[in-house]
Structure formats: C-alpha cells, structure tokens
Amino acid sequence: MSTTKIPANDPALRSWVDVPAGSDFPIQNLPFGVGERLGGGDVATMSRIGDMCIDLSVLFDAGLLEFEELDREMLSYSKLNDLILFGPRIPRYVRQRLSELLRTDNGELRDNHALVSEALVHIDRVDMQLPFLIGDYTDFYSSRQHAYNVGCMFRDPANALLPNWLHLPVGYHGRASSIIESGVDFHRPCGQFKPNPDAAPVFGPTRQLDFELEVGFITHIGKPLLGERISTDEAEDHIFGLVLFNDWSARDIQAWEYVPLGPFLGKNFASSISPWVVTLDALEPFRVAGPKQDPPVLPYLQYEGKKHFDIQLEVGIIPDGGTETVVSRSNFKHLYWNMAQQLAHHTVNGCNVNAGDLMASGTISGDTPDSYGSMLELSWKGTKPVKLDGGGERKFIEDGDTVVMRGHAEANGVRIGFGDVRAKVLPAL
C-alpha cells in the first residue's frame, strides 16, 4: 500500500486541537481505544489526539460519522471487536473522517463548541479499558538475537538456535484471561522451581520475575472456518493494528516446567497490554526491509515488499517511591519473522482466526546489550546486575517495581506513538 493512498497520513496535516510538542498522538495517528469517563458515563469507543480523547459515539449521534456499514452499537460496545468484525473498511473510514474533522481548515466540528465540549475529553478524565475481548492469544519467538541469547545461556553458542528456528516462526498458545490493561497491578506469582539444580523442587514466590518487551497485533475478521489459510500476501488485510505488550515471565518457574510442553505457570499469571491500538494504516510510512532469511524459507513463508516496521521501543524500571531508569532501548524492526509470516504460519494448517485475536511478537532484542528486551538478557541470567539511576541494582524485577514500556515511530516530522504500558508488582499473596 502506498502512503499517497492514505490522506490521513499526510505529514503536512495540522489540527485545530492543541497537540503538545513530542506527543505520540498527532492528527496523523488517530488510534482506537475504549474508555469510560470518570465520574460516570458509558464506556465508549474512542480515538485520541494530543491529550484529548474523542468519544466516537457522540460524533455518530451528531451525524458526523456516516457510513453505510457503521452503526452506533459498534461505537458504544465496551470492546472494539464489533468495529473491526467486517475487516478494515469501517475503521479506515472512521480514521479518515476524523482526520477531516480535526484539520485546521475544517470548521464542521471545530465551530460547534457545545459538541466539542461533549465529544472531546481530557485523557486525565478517562479511565482506559482493555480494548478488546481477546478470544485467543498466541505468543511468538521471533527475535533472532533474543533466541540466540537464551540459547547461549541454557545451551551453548554453537547450538544456541534450535534446528527449527530458522525455518518457521516458533510460537505457542497463551492464556487470554490474564491479559490486563495498562495500569493494573498484579501480585508476584508462586509456583514450583529448583533453586539448586541438584536439589528437589520447592514451592514459593518466583525469585526471577521478568518483563518481556513485545509488540502485539490484533486481527480483523480472520478466516473463521477450519481449513482456510491466510497467505503472506493477504495477511495485512487481516491486521487491524498494533499494541505494546509486556509478557511477564517467572523465569525460575518456567525453567523447571517447560519440558516437554513449553511455558505454563511461568507465563500465564499476567500480561500487560497498552490501551491504544495504532492502526496498520497509520504505521504505513515506517515500513523497512527485513533481514535476509538464510536458509531460504519455504514458499508459504516467502513475501514481497517491506513487511517490517521501524518502531523505537524502550523499557523503564521505577522502584517504589524512586525515579525511573531506562534499562533497554530496542526496535520492532529487529524481528527476524514479520507479522505476515507469523499469521501465514499460524493458519497454514487450517487453524481458524477470529476478529480480536492477539498475536504477540515474543521478546524483541537488538544486537547490543543495552537493546536486550528482558532482564534475563540484560543481567545475563542474574550474573551482571543492572544499575539503577537512583541507586541500587536489579537482577530481576522486585516487589514494588513498576515496569513501563513505550514505543513510537518517527519520520518526516511526524511521530506516531503508542503511549505506554505499565504495571506495578505487588507482593505474593
């Protein structure tokens, strides 16, 4: 898709709504989310520009959003699933129409002060919700550097990548019920682990709680019938948008349980998702070429064009009552396996995919130590503690720590961002 076909992406666009310098949410972004006004009010589908949330149900009631397939229930439902159920047509129309209404030269909404007061509400007065009813969740393992690092720690550099890794996007099915919206705190998980390899397992709170820096994508209407496949050529027609994703991990619990069936209690206790879904359309200008894949992949995983995206990512740790230390700066473009390949592989066996399914990238690590996407790598399995700016150090995440992740893409004077995803770790129950 060419950027010239998406007028809402025009870098010259300006809005009559004040957008602070450096905001993640200029007129060229216009993401989707679900929020509830503080002090009362219905949960509604919203977009955002600058520090203002836009209640789309109010604009619909005012006759400013008119599309033959769009109805009010899509904008007043407490999740985005209905809005994306029929593919990209409706959300693409809504984003383009919002872009028109918010331009400096359009007074259609701007000059109706009563409507502006009703439709636009400051982000501080909105409680953002989990944006989707997530029916299914799949976590991939698509960063070569991350897979190599983990393989070096637990095997050896010569055999760091398992034999299948360069041939297919490795993934597993995760737990959707424990995916939580940004700002929801959680208790340190408990489980079995082995403090000493030669000793019997013990039960207790994890001693190696970790974050995983990931980006997830949400599917439009998929292929709901068993047996249907999604090719790499058509995959992006099934991708609505992207979110930041922290797939929390209990490394010691995971290390003891994962053979032979993979992650279980070490991963299913909590995963944090950002509230704003940035559309694939808004990220169109930030496409980049992916790495050369050697050995060549099988035909169903081959693709044409630029399927990777240049999205800068960072992770910060905030101790209880302390200041933030940015411990990692990475980039979404570091993935070896892109989203189109992930979705094609997910469905090549006939697995059906539905609107609102979440697919996560797996930990995203760059090729330098300061770009690793987990404490497991940053502290190299606890052997190299990470120094905090306010004093102290971390091998893994401690009780009272808040982990915050941010992401944005920037080019031609336009910054398209996600805001952040954050959660605080509470003591084990």
The residues that are catalytic are 146
Bond preceding residue 260 cis, omega within 30 of 0: yes
CA 240/CA 355 separation, integer angstroms: 9
SS (H, E, C) 176-217: CCCEEECCCCEECCEEEECCCCCCCCEEEECCCEECEEEEEE
Q: Which residues pair with 120 in a beta bridge?
A: 54
Longest distance between any two alpha carbons in the chain, whole Å: 73
Contact 213, 405 (CB under 8 A): yes
CA distances from 207 to 190, 195, 373 (A): 9, 9, 19
Cα 371 to Cα 327: distance, rounded to the nearest angstrom: 8
* Cross-strand pairs, 279: 241
Instruction: Report which residue type is found at 141.
Output: Y
From CA 118, how far away is CA 75, in angstroms rounded? 15
Amino acid at 54: I
Instruction: List residues bridging with 246 in a β-sheet.
Output: 213, 272
Q: What angle do CA 44, 49, 54 make, to 5 degrees?
A: 25
Cα–Cα distance for residue pair 370/386, rounded to 1 Å: 10
Alpha-carbon torsion 94, 289, 417, 21, what sign? negative
Edge-to-edge strands, sheet with 33-37: 120-122, 52-55, 43-49, 33-37, 126-128
What are the start-end ranges of the H helices in 66-175?
A: 72-76, 81-84, 89-102, 107-110, 113-119, 144-154
Distance, in Å, from the CA atom of 325 to the CA atom of 39, rounded to the nearest integer, reads: 34
Q: What is d(CA 198, CA 151) in angstroms, rounded to the nearest whole number?
A: 21
